[in-house]
Amino acid sequence: MAIEELLDEEAFDPKKLFNEEEYSTLVIKRDGFSNKQNTAADLIEDLMEPNNTRQENEAIFLKIKESNAGEMLVNALKSVKKPSERAILTAACWECGLDFTQHFLFFVDLACSNDFNVALEAITVVENCEGAIDEDSLHKALKMAESSKSPNAHLLEMLVQNIKQRLG
């Protein structure tokens, strides 16, 4: 936004900043961050740019993986409210190629979302969890999936099947 717009009372309406349909807020707490962590936070924020090309996003995913910024990505995901933004960040989790096994239950919960895009992206993250998951967590995940009231029945069925396969 140009300085002229900020000074022009008719061009800039501060009330719009609180309109969740027009603007979003991605909270990444940067207290005590190193330069590398600040760079990773900037990358995550860049994912929210609506005009990114596929190539630009792929470059961001690669840099997120190189920075091992999975934990930061999950924290950012927890801070967003809008389903469209949640879907973008959830997709970034599997597209960056990091393993989110330690957040398995979090992504199972997202996979039970009423929003189709969020659920689909979260199931993809769950399917890509490669680490060992303890049996107690798998039983909790199965209970979450089977008791979900999400309208995405086919996605829930896929989720349940994935969890059952992991249980053996």
Specify the amino acid at residue 111: A
Measured distance between the N- and C-terminal CA atoms of the chain, rounded to whole angstroms: 55
Tokens standing for 107? Answer: 């992504």
Q: Which of 113, 4, 105, 90 is nearest to 44 (CA)?
A: 90
Instruction: Give the pLDDT of residue 87.
Output: 96
- Whole-number pLDDT of residue 165: 97
In order along its 168 residues, the chain shows pLDDT tens digits of 455 555 555 554 555 544 444 444 444 455 555 555 566 778 888 888 889 999 999 999 999 999 899 998 999 999 898 999 999 999 999 999 999 999 999 999 999 999 999 999 999 999 999 999 999 999 999 999 999 999 999 999 999 999 999 998
Q: Could you tell me which residues come within 8 angstroms of residue 123 by beta carbon, excluding any fewer than 6 positions away? A: 111, 155, 158, 159, 162
Closest CA to 76 of 36, 32, 113, 30: 30
Q: What is the mean pLDDT of the chain?
A: 85
Boundaries of every domain in the chain:
1-98, 99-168
Give the Å distances, CA to CA, from 133 to 36, 130, 142, 150. 30, 9, 13, 24
- The answer to pTM > 0.85 is no
